[in-house]
Structures are given as C-alpha cells and as structure tokens.
Amino acid sequence: MSELRWNPVLGEWVVTATHRQERTYHPPKDYCPLCPTRPGAFPTEVPAEDYEIVVFENKFPSFRRNPPEPAVGGSELYPVRPAKGICEVVLYSPDHHGSLATSEVSQIACLVDVWADRYAELGSLDYIDYVLIFENKGEAVGVTLDHPHGQIYAFPYIPPKPAVELENAARHKAKTGRCLFCDILDAELKDGRRVVAANEDFVAVVPFFARYPYEVHILPRRHAASLPEFSAAERWNLAAILKVVLQKYDNLFGKPLPYIMVMHQAPTDGKQYDHYHFHIEFYPPNRTASKLKYLAGCESGAGTFINDTLPEEKAAELRSVPPVTDDAGGFDGVPKEGGREAR
C-alpha cells in the first residue's frame, strides 16, 4: 500500500509506503543485489557481468509511475492522492567496496553527467515537479545496502524544505534584487573562516547557520539553478570538490564518515526559478568520532536545531584534515593558466 496523506496541521504531504518494510536489509556480502550478476551466481538487480554506472527503478519505491489507488478514502480535512512519481537507484560503481570518496575524479565526473541526465529526463515528465538526488551513506543514517549507490526521488510536488528555500530566495530577490545564495557565497568568501575548500567553480563551506557540526554546503560560484546548466569543465570541478570534501570526511576520524548528501535544484514544474541557486548539502550525523547528533525534542518537536559546536571551529578542523591542497587552484576565483578548456 502506498499513498499521499495530507497533514493539514503542517500543510505537507506524508507518504505511506508499507511495502518498504519488506526491503532488503543488510544481505550477506556474497548476495549483494547491487553487484553485477556473476556467471553461475544468483541474479542481481543488474543483468550484466560488469557495468560503469547503472540507474534502475527502486524495487521498494515510495513513489511509482503507476501507483495503486489509495487504500483509504480522502476527505476535505484529510485529502489523499496516489503516490505517483518515480524512485530510482543510482549505482556508482560495480566495485562493492568502493565509495564516492575513493572514486577517481573522472568517475565522479561521469556520475555528475548521469545526475544531470536524470534531472533532465525525470523533470521533463509532466507529472514530476521536483527531482531530488541524494545519497545516504553508512548504517548510522539507515543504509541497508553497503554497495556504493545513491537515490533519486522524482516528486509530484515541491517538497517542504526546497519550498521554504524557494520562498526565502524569492523574498530576498524581491527585497534586494540579488540572489540569496550568491549573497551567502559572497559573505562566506569575504569572511573566510567557514570555507573548507574551493576551486575555480565551486566553494565548500560549513555554513554560518549549520545545523550539524560537520555540515558542509557546496555552492557554484556562477549563478545556476540546476546541473544541466553547468559546462563540462564546471562538472569536472564539481566532481573534484566533491572528492576533496568526501576524503576530508573519511580522514576526519580515520574511518568512513556517515552522511546524507542532498542536491537542491530548481523545481521542474514548468515555472521560472531564475532566482534559485543549485547547491549540495551534506549532513553527517557525527558530532565526535563516537557520538552522534540525534534529532531529539527540540529538533523533532520544535523544528529548531541545537548545534553543540561552532561552525568556524568545525570548518577549521575540516580544512586541516587531508587532503590539504596547495595554493595553485585559484581559490580567489582567478582561473589557473592552462590545463582546462576555456569556457
């Protein structure tokens, strides 16, 4: 059973998807459903002995192209609608033991191309208003399959968090005439204390308003609302800064750091969102090597996050963690001579 149930108190949809209770949960390593299908072995999700990057429809989706009718009747107070949408799984690599952090930049750049293609293809469907690309990494954030992979949820509506961002970005634009995220990027670069890494096209920061101790946002220097707007060279630099941030995460405590990675892009509902600005947000749950931050009373009950740390100190900590890169990358935005195709 799956359906959308309207919460009139918060003004948002809740997805019920009871079939997800049956989803594969930490299978033995030899029975990973996301590995290639080896000769003579059990058939996995991928009917091939090898692959580069694979995308497929989730076997246990929250949204479906052809959803069943809701199991309950709706009312004026409690509207209900079918959970129509698409849920995809993105396999980063055939290597079961790999991760985004250990991938070559060239491989991550290919993945960026795939993400851009999925955004365009799914977003072009008339019933898809928002494409959310994300990765849950590590058991601490509920991952049930270890194989390196991410997910895509194609929503039939704009979900609440991006909706709030869009409202605030529109309000800022109306008030100042400027992009909210461009102003945030300018402020972070001028201050500098919360910058973690940067290259010609992207900047990684622990934001001024970080909710999690090691929260990092990656923003493009150029104003762009979605992945397909980026040039090939920009996509490469996005891959490069993703790798650096993820390597820093894994070197922080000497073990792979769990995280949630989410891409925020313009909605695909056919309206104009020139005021919006693409960015990636990371929410690692760790506040120390062995302690996690929980979404407890204040966070879950009031929606207000308590951050036990200072973003300026956590950014300095992340800056000092390898890979500590040299000064040749044009941190001030000046392109490095040679090496990259002119844009």
Partner 1 sequence: MKPAQNNAPYIAHPGGSDAAAGASSMTKERIVKDDGRYLIFYRFGCRFGKRSGDRAAEGADKAGLKEGRA
Residue from 195, 252, 261, 263 that binds partner 1 (CB under 8 A)?
195
Residue 90, token pair as written in the block: 């993105």
Neighbouring CB atoms inside 10 A of 177's CB total 7
Number of residues that bind partner 1 (CB under 8 A): 73
Residue from 34, 35, 101, 109 that binds partner 1 (CB under 8 A)?
109
Known catalytic residue at 149: yes
Residue closer to partner 1 (CB basis): 69 or 274: 274
Catalytic residue among 147, 149, 172, 264: 149
Rounded to a whole number of angstroms, the minimum distance from the CB of residue 79 to partner 1 is 25
Residue 33, token pair as written in the block: 């459903």
- 160-176 and 180-191 are packed helices; what angle lies between their axes, rounded to 10 degrees? 80
Residues 14-73 that bind partner 1 (CB under 8 A): 45-48, 51-57, 59
Q: Do 240 and 203 touch, CB atoms closer than 8 A?
A: no
Rounded to a whole number of angstroms, the minimum distance from the CB of residue 220 to partner 1 is 15
Burial of 40 (0-12, 13-18, 19+ CB in 10 A): exposed
Residue closer to partner 1 (CB basis): 150 or 285: 150
Residue 106, token pair as written in the block: 């060239």
Rounded to a whole number of angstroms, the minimum distance from the CB of residue 202 to partner 1 is 9
For 174, how many CA atoms within 13 A lie in the half-sphere containing its CB?
6
Residues 196-255 that bind partner 1 (CB under 8 A): 196-200, 226, 228, 232-233, 235-237, 239-241, 243-244
Collapse the DSSP code of 10 into the 3-class scheme (helix H, G, I; strand E, B; otherwise coil) and give the result. Answer: coil
Q: In what order do the strands lie in the sheet with 80-81?
A: 12-17, 2-7, 80-81
Rounded to a whole number of angstroms, the minimum distance from the CB of residue 95 to partner 1 is 9
Residue closer to partner 1 (CB basis): 56 or 209: 56
Rounded to a whole number of angstroms, the minimum distance from the CB of residue 145 to partner 1 is 16
Q: What is the distance between the alpha carbons of residues 80 and 70, in angstroms, rounded to a whole number?
A: 7
Distance of CA 152 to the CA centre of its chain: 9
Q: What is the distance between the alpha carbons of residues 133 and 261, in angstroms, rounded to a whole number?
A: 8
Residue closer to partner 1 (CB basis): 302 or 342: 342
Rounded to a whole number of angstroms, the minimum distance from the CB of residue 107 to partner 1 is 4
Asked if 152 touches partner 1 (CB under 8 A), the answer is no
What's phi and psi for 272, nearest 5 deg?
-85, 135
Asked if 99 touches partner 1 (CB under 8 A), the answer is no
**Residues 324-343 as x/- pattern, contact with partner 1 by CB under 8 A:** xxxxxxxxx---x--xxx--
Asked if 127 touches partner 1 (CB under 8 A), the answer is no
Residue 173, token pair as written in the block: 């634009």
- Of 109-117, 154-162, 210-218, 293-301, which part binds partner 1 (CB under 8 A)? 109-117
What letter does residue 332 receive in the DSSP assignment?
A: T
Sign, CA torsion 223/227/233/236:
positive
Q: What is the distance between the alpha carbons of residues 184 and 319, in angstroms, rounded to a whole number?
A: 19
**Residues 307-326 as x/- pattern, contact with partner 1 by CB under 8 A:** ------------x---xxxx
Residue closer to partner 1 (CB basis): 76 or 337: 337
Residue closer to partner 1 (CB basis): 96 or 193: 193
Catalytic residue IDs? 149
